Structure 1
């Protein structure tokens, strides 16, 4: 079957997580992603770990499948010129250099727009390309802290806790995909490319939907609630005899089914629990009363009872358990690839299922500079030209 983004070429000058996650998602859908790395080690993620698989970090293998790698040195004029030559046939550029760096190199949007007016140019940064923090460096942890996420993650009366996954980085990558594809659709209609930018801070802030809404409406500053929901109860993890079960009862019918399933029918008519507002106000007491029942059975026993009752519920799974789960296996979420030096590796599969033009994971993360020669030959360089670039330090090849 064809791939949705077949024929779309992406020049990815980003590294670590947000930008590479964006370009990986595009590559999974068929885009030709050329990962342009710096000399002397390439993407910093190549050295992040442990664990390492042979000479490659697991982190790099996870974020860079389906891509080609070339090494260009932008400190050398010939490296900049090579990049400009590649831009002529490109559709999309992704970069996450500090504000002003690409412009000083002569590789900013206006520079490359003059070469290719249809180019879609995406900049990813910590705080955005304008404003008082524009020149600050930014990381996921800082964005989680400054967006408010760390102020209401965790349980009450404990030190600040970040989300267990790099949510600011990942969401910035996802917003970048959204922005790029929106710009690409507009280009198909108008013929015009454009510049767009995404920041980790705003990508994290965009996820504070309930907390910001509550503050706008009431002025109340949200705090941590553990596994509980800010607007619904019970919607949380409850103790069982051997662990926890998470339950969702965000509306009255689900609440009544849950109470009946737990053998707490008397709570339904209780004035303090008669509606969601009351259950939220008395959340701590309700949790205690429910756990008097839930701690009498195991998690598996409750899951069977709750499923039969039509109550949304689930276990809390660790990495070993989720990758053995039959639903995950059935949905093809474990991708197996053969890497030239690391051997057999596994990746997370595609979360979006297109039925006519499905995404594919066919190629492992590339070795540093593995495709430099291939890409330059495609761009019209001769073998002699490539040798000269390598000799000058403007490019690095690593043919296998």
Structure 2
């Protein structure tokens, strides 16, 4: 097995806020790994625990774009938690961990005897963090959940897409990502609480909870005013004009709904006569006449190219921007300035780029300090750190409780 080309010593020599924290990563798919990636990027020692026959859980190769982007900055061990000796070795690791993150089906961790109740007496300082499809309790708690199911059940698909076209999913796994982000936030809160109490605890969220939370004003619109939102396509549900408009080359987004912005937009477009249209003098009036407002604006915006409009509208203080494809995003000078494409060197793919952390902590800089681990790559190393002898580690491997690379080094 080729060695990782990245020096993990750089991680220990770089002051990062989570340095010194040990995390057991039992996650798969995307929601759990999204949470762990925050912890990994900011200095925690991540131990990825997988079954000996793991295929990574992402539907692609271990050196595929998805796995590499999600599983950098980790060490790895392959343990059979169903084997008594594998389970015992896991408990050794759990006894020294600060955090455990998992997103199995609710009942699986109980069946494996690695749930919070199984570990809290072993390690009272452990923060146990879970993501499920629908919650740890309740009528749906035993169901498996994936992002698109939660998009549908959580109402998002009913308000996404053009009116009359039927439900539409969002183009990213927004529930997986949001649940992972929220769980990372919950872990940070519990870590702060542990500083005061000395005790860990159980932190959890679900795809469904994350989706309902992300409904935001559309949810409060219903809860307070009884309005059930429908699909509005590329238009903002209540503000007008705010949406996508054609230009001579590519579409752009324009947001000019406030009285001041609407007036400035009409002037910038050379159509101050729009300010005299009685039905358009208020936001409510423009909203009722949305189709005509949009069509009238589109007739004007399509006469000039996108860059002409963006420059002109920016000068007028009107929020606007192009509708980019993914290549355009990473070619954008602001995205490049923000360094959102982070360089790393992969053992087989060579010099590549992955998505950087969006968090900025002045005086600290994250990066890729460890390559994505092979299955069980650091097993022997980790078990030795937990106090097992070479003979005990060899015995685990002989019994099939420990898998992965025989060397198990860094």
Query: Of residues 16, 24, 32 in structure 2, which corresponds to 1:3?
Result: 16
What residue is the counterpart of 2:141 in the other structure? 134
What residue is the counterpart of 2:154 in the other structure? 147
What residue is the counterpart of 1:257 in the other structure? 264
Query: Of residues 320, 334, 346 in structure 2, which corresponds to 1:327?
Result: 334
Mean Cα deviation higher: 224-233 or 22-31 = 224-233
Correspondence list, 1:240-279, <5 A: 240-279=247-286
Query: Of residues 350, 368, 374 in structure 2, which corresponds to 1:361?
Result: 368
Moved segments of 4+, more than 6 Å: none
Q: Does 1:230 align with 2:230?
A: no
Q: Does 1:191 align with 2:172?
A: no
Q: Does 1:44 align with 2:57?
A: yes
Give the CA deviation at 1:73: 0.8
Give the CA deviation at 1:91: 0.7
Query: CA RMSD, aligned part only?
Result: 1.5
Give the CA deviation at 1:107: 1.1
Distance in structure 1 (CA, Å) of the matches to 2:51 and 2:275: 63
What residue is the counterpart of 2:302 in the other structure? 295
What residue is the counterpart of 1:162 in the other structure? 169
Instruction: Tell me if the contact between 2:132 and 2:206 (Cα under 8 Å) persists in the aligned partners.
Output: yes
Distance in structure 1 (CA, Å) of the matches to 2:171 and 2:303: 30
- Partner SS state of residue 28, structure 2: coil
Q: Does 1:109 align with 2:116?
A: yes
Deviations 1:88-127 (A, max 9, x none): 2111011112112212222111111111101110111100
Structure 1: tracts of 5 or more residues without a match: none
Query: Of residues 30, 35, 48 in structure 2, which corresponds to 1:22?
Result: 35
Instruction: Tell me if the contact between 2:342 and 2:367 (Cα under 8 Å) persists in the aligned partners.
Output: no
Deviations 1:114-141 (A, max 9, x none): 1110111011110001110000000001
Deviations 1:329-382 (A, max 9, x none): 111111121112232222001101101333333323211111112211111112
What residue is the counterpart of 1:76 in the other structure? 83
Equivalenced residues, count: 394
Deviations 1:246-278 (A, max 9, x none): 011242222221121112212223222222222
Deviations 1:260-297 (A, max 9, x none): 11122122232222222222222211101111110111
- Partner SS state of residue 69, structure 1: strand
Query: Of residues 94, 98, 102 in structure 1, which corresponds to 2:101?
Result: 94
- Partner SS state of residue 206, structure 1: helix
Distance in structure 2 (CA, Å) of the matches to 1:106 and 1:77: 11
Correspondence list, 1:301-380, <5 A: 301-380=308-387
What residue is the counterpart of 2:46 in the other structure? 33
